[in-house]
Structure 1
Amino acid sequence: MHLRRARPEDYEAIGAMTVAAYQPQLTDASSSYAEHLANAEARDRQAELWVAVGSDDHEVLGTVTICREGSPWREVAAADEGEFRMLAVAPQAQGQGVGEALVRHVVDRFREEGATAVVMSTNAHGTAPAQRLYQRLGFVRCPERDWSPMPGVELIVYRLDLA
């Protein structure tokens, strides 16, 4: 496995994999979110889309969207913080370190750029393995920043201090 920027030829596979990874979390209230998840091209155009691929450089194992200041994909970051969204790992690759590699990559990028912290939101009823990953990597809950983008969808915020 290696990480690289997404390419246009990856968009369809990234979109499908992201929807598949999020499918267990999608509720009636958030089902329209699947279209948002599938739009890898927009994420790459308006933010920075990274992909973890297999040794053949084509099999999409995971993805993450890096949201810098000014990106319409930013939701909870302050001006001096980095943010990432839509961390997704292909169902068949879960538990193999793909998500961790992607999060570490995001953290390293923002550390190099001088951000004071990295923040992200996750579904309050999301997967326990993802929340354990964030905690293991040093992210801490910021309940004062929790929010709801729509009725029936509760998001919790994690933050990693880089100072």
Structure 2
Amino acid sequence: MDMVIRAALPAEYAELGEITARAYLTDGHLDFNEADPYLDVLRDVAGRAARAEVLVAVREERLLGGVTFAAPGSPLADIAAPDEAEFRMLAVAHEARGQGAGEALVRACVERARSLEGVTGLVLSTQRSMAGAHRIYARLGFVRTPERDWAPIEGLTLLTYRLKL
């Protein structure tokens, strides 16, 4: 059966939050421990859904992963200019990796950004350690924008990418 990309349902928020937190925690992208307060942010899908669009990848009613899409003006956009959309917190469950869910979610963000009037680009921030995601971004035409790299906390510089639409 084919994968479906759609808006996350409230009944899926807890599971997606756990997938997202586990992806960051167990992949070692941040120096987290189970008490790290950022895990609460990653798990707060309901909070993101109230301020942006949360998309999920589903196959045979199984949640594979998700992403947060921030249209221009969204309070969840960290680096987007007024004419840009942004996506954040792309995560795929460990057991679902290698099945195309990550790329499908990014493609859905590209399509969503292209559908918005006046949006000229789609941007994102990522960590150096997220090499698998970097390959997806390059394959889809995103270009590194090192002049926009930033550090949300001391010692963590995020790399940025942009896709011209």
TM-score by length of 1: 0.92
Residues 1:102 and 2:105 aligned together: yes
Aligned partner of 1:52 in structure 2 is 57
Report the aligned-residue RMSD: 1.3
Distance in 2 between the 1:28 and 1:36 partners?
13
Q: For 2:38, which of 15, 26, 33 is the aligned residue?
A: 33
Between 88-97 and 141-150, the greater mean CA deviation after superposition: 88-97
Contact 2:71 2:113 in 1 (8 A): no
Q: For 2:158, which of 137, 145, 155 is the aligned residue?
A: 155
Aligned partner of 2:126 in structure 1 is 122
- C-alpha deviation, 1:21, in angstroms: 1.2
Aligned partner of 1:11 in structure 2 is 13
How many pairs does the alignment contain? Answer: 158
Change over 3 Å in CA distance of 1:83–1:45 after alignment to 2? same
SS, match of residue 95 in structure 1: coil
Distance in 2 between the 1:36 and 1:74 partners?
15
SS, match of residue 50 in structure 2: helix
- C-alpha deviation, 1:92, in angstroms: 0.8
- C-alpha deviation, 1:28, in angstroms: 4.6
- C-alpha deviation, 1:35, in angstroms: 1.2
Structure 2 unaligned regions, length at least 5: none
- Residue identity in the other structure for 2:125: S
Distance in 2 between the 1:89 and 1:103 partners?
12
Distance in 2 between the 1:95 and 1:28 partners?
25
- C-alpha deviation, 1:99, in angstroms: 0.5
Distance in 2 between the 1:141 and 1:35 partners?
29
- C-alpha deviation, 1:154, in angstroms: 1.1
TM-score by length of 2: 0.91
Contact 2:53 2:70 in 1 (8 A): yes
Structure 1 unaligned regions, length at least 5: none
- C-alpha deviation, 1:70, in angstroms: 2.4
Q: For 2:23, which of 11, 21, 24 is the aligned residue?
A: 21
- C-alpha deviation, 1:44, in angstroms: 0.4
Q: 1:111-140 CA distances to partner (integer Å, 9 max, x unpaired)? A: 11131110000013x221111110111001
Distance in 2 between the 1:158 and 1:20 partners?
24
Contact 1:54 1:60 in 2 (8 A): yes
- Residue identity in the other structure for 2:123: V
Contact 2:83 2:121 in 1 (8 A): yes
Contact 1:17 1:60 in 2 (8 A): no
